Structure 1
Amino acid sequence: MIGSASETAAAGLIALFFLLAQALRIGKRGDQLPPGPATLPLQHPYYKFTEWARQFGDIYSLMVGPNVVVVLTSMSAVKELMDRRSATTSDRPESYLANMTTGGLHMGISRYNDNWKVQRKAAQAVLTPQATNRHLPIQKAEATQLMYDFLKTPQDFYSHIRRYSHSVILSINYGKRSPRYETHEAKAFWHVLHQWESLLAPGAQPPVDLLPFLKYVPERWAPWKTLCKEVGRLQRELYYGLLTECEERVRDGKENGSYMEEVVKRRKEFGMTREQTGYLGGSLMEAASDTTASALQSVVLMLVAFPEVQRKAKEEVDSVIGSERLPKLEDWADLPYLQAINKEISRLRPITPLALPHATTADEYYCGYLIPKGATLLINCWGINHDPELFEDPETFNPDRYLRSEYGTKPGVDVTDFRHTIMFGAGRVGHLNAVTNYPLLMALHLQRICAGIQLANNSLMLNMMNFVWAFDFSHGTNPMTKEPIPVDLRPSPKGIFTGPDPFQCAISPRSASRAEMIETEFVNAIDTFLPFEELLTAEDKAWVAESRASFR
């Protein structure tokens, strides 16, 4: 006991002296570095980072101990450093906690190394536009169930959206769906994802990368090590379990066309280990589930908060689609106001306010400043999207701005370096510059640009049209006072992502005929669901059978 107390005291003194030494260095930087403030770690930094951008300019530096962080708050800086110089800016910062959890196998946050390259090669091979089109039937069917769920239990809309986003990528990735939010895979996924996000949230754990000696603290005094092990165990249990089911289907000749079945069959071609394969599937599932859910929840939030926007959207949808049929994906091109709402939500409330951090693998110079090898690069999406020099009343939700100009900017703004893909990260974008509908960021990038853009776009387009066509959204009502319950438009931090917290609203079908069409469409979708329900648990199969008994 005495030895343990002495060790604890010694460790505490070392930590204290180290922190004092670092505190004396706060704000001190080399002469060639971009200017910046004296800094301390921040819990939710994007508001402060944007304030500093107005003070120090579009590129400035932060000193976090000996580590250099460079914040970019202009499209021109992003294009030059992250796109044109992607050969030296596509790394990720070192994360001891992430590596301890995943063994360095998570593609979204992996360093720019052989592991990332082999996983990226496999992702590019299977996430093709042609493959995405093949999976449209199940994506449309899941969107139909989301409408049906809104119709039957609208008070659970927040969970229904989560079920939808998870079930789409689970079906496409692994050939197995989640017909209800309580399905084993859905519960396991959202539980481990929340643990993972909490682990990575800024300030939630000790700064091990800043204080390297913490790596050597015994686990009994380092609860973050126990948390890393538990999160890693939960990830492997879920990801490798789903992979095993895919491997067995491939072995037995019972494939249903999922992405991971193709990866399993081509694993030797890609040069992948089983561990890399398991984490590839998990990374794809994480990337698509959380961001899609947050984006769709934000759509509902804005429709509730801005009834005039909802009214105009309905007028447009009714003029193009009418009331005699459900929306089709092809209708999106004829709905400019709905497209504008989509873009304005992404501008006003980006799901990743600081994107995902990059790191440099060599010294770079920009605007006369040194960006040293090993520096962390942050894209301040929030600051760019809320810049009053670029946008009229940037804090105001106003989709009309995108009807007046392609990027929603003020007259006279030079948009040469603008692109909507900033919400998907940065890197070599190639043909993606020509695409204009970008709802959300997924955590995988071509030289860090998102690999699943078309899949994400399809989800947002289908569901936005369905929501506006099918339902009226309004404020919930306080049962005691009968007063409308206000909604909170501020984004809530979820690790490196943001999204709306659960909120109350009222959702009702726009007419009895539309409700009937939703029910008919859901019945017609059942045949599409069946191939993805063969591996459900007995409990889930019983629930599915009971919920559909009235349809047979």
Structure 2
Amino acid sequence: MTFLVLLSLGVLGATLLWLRVRSIGHREPGLPPGPPTIPLLGNLHVFPTEFAHYRFTEWARKYGGIFSLKIGPGTTVVLTDAAIFKELMDKRTASTADRPPLYIADLVTGGLNMSLARYSDTWRRLGRAAHTILTPDATAQHLAIQKAEATQLLYDFLTTPEDFYKNVQRYANSVILSVLYGQRSPRYESPETTVFFKANHEWKLVLDPGSTPPIELVPILKYVPAQWAKWKRDCKRTRELQRIVYFGLIDKTMERVQRGEENGCYMEEVLLRREEFRLDREMMGEDRTPLHPFLHSLILALMAYPEVQRKAHEEMDRIVGDQRMPTLDDLQRMPYIRAIILETHRFRPTAPLMLPHAASATEEYKGYIIPKGATIFVNASLYDDTEEFIPERYLDSENGTKPGVDGSDLRHNFVFGVGRRICPGMHLAQNSLNINTMNLIWAFNFTPPLDTTGNPIQPDLFAYMKGILTGPHPFACTITPRTTHKAQIVRREFVEAAETFARFEGGLSEADRVYVREMRAAAGSGLVDE
């Protein structure tokens, strides 16, 4: 009898265990619909490992504006309808502002990366400091250096058009360093630029899916010794590089402030108000997202769509002419060029799915349950001809949505995030993108290179880097000034920007100082009386 009881209990336990294991990966009642699941894996076997937004858009057409995926025992909810993510991500942001746990990011940054940090008191302190200092009015004081850096970008395109890809990278890095830390990089090879891109490259490598084990699914991997885990050594190296970059910049800013040589950069105010914001040295030493993917995508699109470029040139010539460079005030009278900016964001967004959010509390939306702890992706797919670059869609409707779709819930700054996670630097970033879009259209023609038979080599519009943040791989483009007179204006504006640049060049290396002197002398000698 005892044996039979024990046997029965054993069978019952095994059955319950089997049912429990078998239920892992199963979509629970109340979740939004989604692709069929299999035991244990759920949808892990069909989850895209690259360019996920394309697959998410396909699933949205089948399952609707809100659908769910099971990743093992975890739940992922994907939103593709403007009204839904406005309701859940903006109006209910208190419940959806968290980030999924990302052990790798925490290992590198100590949980202090403001973009990836969990929704906590630390994140709130970081966000409060950024939002307080980077207001729309406050960003106006940075326009001078943004315009000056944009002018050098034009001059670099004029003199070394074959290096345009690196020229854009140099510009993006230098304008960020100038605005945030008061220290510019006049060359791609400047020490600050070199170490910045090295640190950024290592950061992207450790974040790329597949480069590190699934720690969140197999937590015991956290305890593997570093000598047996290359990924741990990679994370340590990346952390050391980031600390060299950002703490070095903070130290230079502090030294400049102590000498009374302030230039109005962001970090100066952070240092002066660090007790008010309750920020320590570790919290101030954080990285920033570069601007170059947008500009690379813009150039790629202008080259691939000559009719769009022609219309943009026509509008620019009508509003600005060829006797001066455009200003931000001109943009209000340029609906087509504004549409190009919006279409570039839509066509090839820097973060196609933005960064994933996480639900810190269970939410209900029209009968569907978004459980606490669920990962949330936002993927807008409200457009016709999604793989065509059509600025006119933003002339036909305010938000570019396809006929019959209510796009009133969209907003133009959607690309900078949602809810409490909206990017505090979006006003700075948008000013830079607006200035450069107008400048490049005003000054240059962008055409495909020619093959040996004289035929244009059409660009690959899908040759984009993998990862959370993406941009086009290096590509070839023929860049020529639209007129010799405009080329002269570019040279003159670059020479006249020297006074603005000087405020941000106090810590340049000797090699950079020599480069700056020679470059400005060459620009000045190229000026002729007209």
The answer to whether the superposition gives a TM-score over 0.5 is yes
| Whole-angstrom CA distance in 2 between matches of 1:503 and 1:192 | 23
Please give the residue correspondences for 1:205-224 in structure 2 after superposition, counting only pairs within 5 Å. 205-224=212-231
Residue in 2 that maps onto 1:544: 516
Residue in 1 that maps onto 2:405: 413
Which residue of the other structure, out of 23, 30, 33, is the alignment partner of 2:31?
33
Residue in 2 that maps onto 1:529: 501
**1:307 Cα deviation after fit:** 0.6
TM-score, structure 1 as length reference:
0.87
Residue in 2 that maps onto 1:465: 438
| Whole-angstrom CA distance in 2 between matches of 1:492 and 1:112 | 31
Q: SS at 2:421's partner residue?
A: coil
Residue in 2 that maps onto 1:519: 491
Residue 168 (structure 2) pairs with residue 161 (structure 1): yes
Q: Structure 1: which 5+ residue stretches go unaligned?
A: 1-19, 428-446
- Letter of the 1:137 partner, please give it: A
Q: Go from structure 1 to structure 2 and tell me whether the alpha carbon gap of 1:464 and 1:524 turns closer, same or farther (over 3 Å shift).
A: same
Residue in 1 that maps onto 2:364: 365
**1:117 Cα deviation after fit:** 0.8
Which residue of the other structure, out of 81, 95, 103, is the alignment partner of 1:88?
95
Question: Which whole-Å deviations, capped at 9, do the CAs of 1:458-480 have from their partners, x for residues lacking one?
Answer: 111111111111111100123x3
Q: SS at 1:257's partner residue?
A: coil
Residue in 2 that maps onto 1:68: 75
**1:416 Cα deviation after fit:** 3.2
Question: Relative to structure 2, which stretch is displaced further, 469-478 or 542-551?
Answer: 542-551
Which residue of the other structure, out of 166, 187, 192, is the alignment partner of 1:185?
192
Residue 424 (structure 2) pairs with residue 451 (structure 1): yes
| Whole-angstrom CA distance in 2 between matches of 1:337 and 1:510 | 19
| Whole-angstrom CA distance in 2 between matches of 1:233 and 1:277 | 15
CA contact (8 A) 1:93 1:376 kept: yes
Q: Structure 2: which 5+ residue stretches go unaligned?
A: 1-17, 38-42, 526-530
- Letter of the 1:450 partner, please give it: C
CA contact (8 A) 1:22 1:65 kept: no
CA contact (8 A) 2:34 2:69 kept: yes
| Whole-angstrom CA distance in 1 between matches of 2:333 and 2:292 | 25
- Letter of the 2:75 partner, please give it: V
Residue in 2 that maps onto 1:435: none
Which residue of the other structure, out of 48, 58, 65, is the alignment partner of 1:58?
65
| Whole-angstrom CA distance in 1 between matches of 2:19 and 2:204 | 30
CA contact (8 A) 2:448 2:477 kept: yes
Q: Go from structure 1 to structure 2 and tell me whether the alpha carbon gap of 1:24 and 1:544 turns closer, same or farther (over 3 Å shift).
A: farther
Q: SS at 1:322's partner residue?
A: coil
CA contact (8 A) 1:303 1:473 kept: yes
Q: Go from structure 1 to structure 2 and tell me whether the alpha carbon gap of 1:299 and 1:217 turns closer, same or farther (over 3 Å shift).
A: same
| Whole-angstrom CA distance in 1 between matches of 2:300 and 2:393 | 19
RMSD over aligned Cα, in angstroms? 1.8
Q: SS at 2:470's partner residue?
A: strand
- Letter of the 1:208 partner, please give it: I
| Whole-angstrom CA distance in 2 between matches of 1:307 and 1:24 | 56
Question: Relative to structure 2, which stretch is displaced further, 197-206 or 306-315?
Answer: 197-206
| Whole-angstrom CA distance in 2 between matches of 1:413 and 1:99 | 40
Question: Which whole-Å deviations, capped at 9, do the CAs of 1:472-520 have from their partners, x for residues lacking one?
Answer: 1100123x34332221111613420121111101001111111111111
Which residue of the other structure, out of 27, 39, 49, is the alignment partner of 1:43?
49
Residue 271 (structure 2) pairs with residue 264 (structure 1): yes
| Whole-angstrom CA distance in 2 between matches of 1:46 and 1:23 | 30
**1:27 Cα deviation after fit:** 4.3
- Letter of the 2:269 partner, please give it: E
CA contact (8 A) 2:399 2:408 kept: no
**1:413 Cα deviation after fit:** 2.6
Q: SS at 1:493's partner residue?
A: coil
Residue in 2 that maps onto 1:11: none
**1:22 Cα deviation after fit:** 11
Question: Relative to structure 2, which stretch is displaced further, 447-456 or 487-496?
Answer: 487-496
